[in-house]
Amino acid sequence: MVMRRLRSIFGGGTSPAQEPSPLYGLDTEERERIGTESDPLRGFEAGMARNEEAERAVHSGDPERAIDLYETSVAEEFVGSHPYERLASLYERRRNPADALRVCEAYLRLAASGKMPRGAQRSADRKLPEFEARVERYRRLLDKD
């Protein structure tokens, strides 16, 4: 029974044509986007490597390099919150609330876009209050100036 189930999941067995594979819990639309231009995880590994390099740059005292790397991740709409959080923090430390606001708003737009994979969307939904609070804080700082 277990082997039959595994074969049906991984393609070794037969399953009805209408029944999509339950592999990774992806629905038909999500499976069809894999590897296409609309795949939200396209370039994910490169983005992760870039974000790790940015962290190393921060720790080695090169915040300019980190900012450039994180800006690339934001421009490419990386599906995790890490580059947005870190970049906003770097701008905040530099007393640059306008850029910090821009980055946080970019994350809020991404979270609302419906483009994120299910797991990333759940994480984004949990992070929304934090980002919304940051946006309000940066707006207040900009209003003071």
Q: Is 64 exposed, middle or buried (0-12, 13-18, 19+ CB in 10 A)?
A: exposed
Distance CA(99)–CA(75), nearest Å, equals: 13
- The model carries a pTM of 0.74
Domains of the chain from N-terminus onward:
1-34 (no CATH), 38-144 (1.25.40.10)
Give the residue carrying structure tokens 């790397």.
69
pLDDT tens for the chain, 145 residues: list them.
655 655 565 655 444 445 544 444 556 766 666 666 666 666 788 889 999 999 999 999 999 999 999 999 999 999 889 999 999 999 999 999 999 999 999 999 999 998 888 888 999 999 999 999 999 999 999 998 7
What does the pLDDT read at residue 45?
A: 85
Q: Following DSSP, what letter does each residue of 61-118 receive, concatenated?
A: T-HHHHHHHHHHHHHTT-SSSHHHHHHHHHHHHTT-HHHHHHHHHHHHHHHHHT-S-H
3-class SS of residue 60? coil
> Which positions ≥6 away from 74 have C-beta within 8 Å?
83, 84, 87, 103, 106, 107
Q: Cβ(13)–Cβ(7) under 8 Å?
A: yes
What does the pLDDT read at residue 15?
A: 45
Burial 111-120 (b: 16+ CB within 10 A, else e): beeebbbeeb
What does the pLDDT read at residue 27?
A: 61
